[in-house]
Structure 1
Amino acid sequence: MTASTAVPHLMQQLRTVNPSAPRLIWYGPNSERIELSGRVLDNWVAKTSNLLVEELDAEPGTRVSLLLPGHWKTLVWALACWQVGAVPAASPVTADPAADIVVSSDDTVAVNSPAQLLVLVALGALDLKYPGTIPAGAVDYAAEVRGYGDEFLDLPPAIEDQTAMELTDGDLSMAVLFDRAEACDWTPGGVLLVPAELPLETTLAAAVHCWTTGGTLIVVHSTVDLSADLLASERVTDRVGA
């Protein structure tokens, strides 16, 4: 599979291969558990992709600074960037000064120029709008995203060397990321548990492995007790970083 076909193939698998099966599970603070089937995950990615293109004017090569913690919505944003051909850059501290769009869960984040667009993401499962202050010109993701289409039809031209992520020490290509996912020794079609604090590129490689083999990814916040009962109830087969 070439880099230019990897993302469309991945999204098609989420839509069509046992689409009601759980593909992404989030364990967060305060006993929060969110389960997304392949169909629901694809729907979130499609809506976010449409918001990127229609509201934020994203196009192939647009640089998106993901100033977000490890979270299921961070994965949605990364997939949406891939789907529209944008380049995500993960930084938990400061916005990429060269980014066109800054996506953050913190309303105190400072953009680097008036040309940077700011999107604020509410992380709570039941949040229908951002709970803090929305600066002038910023976009409230929770309030806006549900109004966008459930399918993303505006696929960009195939990019053979599409960038999966912009890292501090250089770009990570889509081909390399998919190769990493394929070469790992995790159980194909299994249930893979990933601590939320791991680097996003590690979580994305785990996600690609899961979703291309029909498995389930579980992302767990650091405050969650990984009890034997939890691991057994979710039928976890592999743990990243364990």
Structure 2
Amino acid sequence: MTAPFAADAHTPAELLQAFLRPGSAADPSRPLVTFYDDSTGERVELSAKTFDNWVAKTANLLQDELNASPDDRAALLLPAHWQSAVWLLACWSVGVAAVPGGEPKDADLVVSGPDGLASAQECPGERVALALRPLGGRFPQRPDGFLDYAAEVPGQGDRFAPYSPVDPQAVALETLVDGLPLKLTGEQTVALAREGAARLGLDSGSRVLSTLSFDDWAGLEAGLLAPLAAGASVVLCRNSGQLTEDQWQSRIDSERVTLRLG
């Protein structure tokens, strides 16, 4: 039996690193995350190398500028977006527990898109705002009490090393699984991602299109973790409710999608 992709990975960050190894079954130069926002016409495509560079910069921002540590919890008030995927992997690279859709008042830091800024004000710790504008643009005016991610991240280092090794047994993700709130360690997150990849029939040639939210396990599995565990790639689509079936089919064909979810 062929060993699964990244069989030695015990944390989600190690799944990403497996894409970059020489001889990997996944080509680090091919698209890993493709993102569409159909309200703006935006399309962004990131190879594994480029995505990893964004993750490294964001992890450096977390660790060095925001003083985040493996004991911290980050509430992520973000849609399914390429920058949301970057933040998830950055948290896991540092060892911070990611809490998509979490309560800011209970978190050590909060990362919010424009729609969550009012709620994010309740966080007692560091607050980061993402404009989610095309081309990673900044806010026209930085929200009071927040760092503007697009202004802060470019100056961060392109390589990342955690101050202490990430513990696979520490909580990495707090999410809803079948409607029930669960705290998953890094190892459990990877194990569930592998189970999802097997159930969905994914391999390194798969390309998954997802319109699901990242606020529960089903969306995280479809739009990020199961493809990572298989060495596959994703196409994330936001604000796509107005697309006709013909338009969907055109996108599926042009992006060489092998599985549509949501």
1:125 aligns with 2:134: yes
The aligned counterpart of 1:202 is 218
Distance 1:167 1:216, change over 3 A: closer
1:76 paired residue among 79, 82, 86: 86
Equivalent in the alignment of 2:238? 221
SS at match of 1:142: helix
Letter in 1 for 2:28: P
One of 175, 195, 216 as aligned partner of 2:187 = 175
| Unaligned segments of structure 2, at least 5 residues | 1-6
Residue identity opposite 2:202 in structure 1: T
What is the total number of aligned residue pairs between the two structures? 236
Amino acid at match of 1:116: G
**Contact persistence 1:122–1:129 (CA under 8 A):** yes
Task: Supply the distance in 2 between the matched residues of 1:211 and 1:187 (Cα, whole angstroms).
Answer: 10
Structure 1 residues 7 and 197, CA, compared in 2 at 3 Å: closer, same or farther? closer
**Structure 2 residue matching 1:15: 3-state secondary structure:** coil
CA contact (8 A) 1:75 1:204 kept: no
Partner letter of residue 43 of structure 2?
A: R
- Does 2:147 align with 1:139? yes
CA-CA distance at 1:30 after TM superposition: 2.2
In the aligned structure 1, how far is the partner of 2:99 from the partner of 2:13? 20
> Residue 97 of structure 1 aligns to a residue in which SS?
helix
Contact 2:31-2:48 at 8 Å conserved across structures: yes
Partner of 1:14: 19
8 Å Cα contact 1:48/1:145 also seen in 2: yes
- 1:13 is displaced (CA, Å) by 1.9
CA distance in 1 between partners of 2:141 and 2:19 (Å): 33
The 1:159–1:135 alpha-carbon spacing in structure 2 relative to 1, beyond 3 Å, is same
Aligned to 1:237: 258
Residue aligning to 2:72: 62
Unmatched 5+ stretches in structure 1: none
Q: CA RMSD in A?
A: 2.2
Contact 1:197 1:222 in 2 (8 A): no
Residue deviations 1:54-94, cap 9 Å, x none?
Answer: 11000102110001122111111111000100011111xx7
Contact residue 10 and residue 212 of structure 1 kept, 8 A: yes
Distance 1:154 1:104, change over 3 A: same
Equivalent-residue separation in structure 2 for 1:181 and 1:167 (angstroms): 13
Checking the alignment, whether the CA contact within 8 Å between 2:142 and 2:148 is kept in structure 1 is: no
Structure 1 pair 8–195 and aligned structure 2 pair: CA distance change class (3 A):
closer
Q: 2:36–2:237: 8 Å Cα contact kept in structure 1?
A: yes
How far residue 215 of structure 1 moved from its aligned partner, in angstroms, is: 1.4
1:83–1:155 CA contact under 8 A, matched in 2: no
Higher helix share: 2
Change in Cα spacing, 1:116 to 1:235, as seen in structure 2 (3 Å) is same
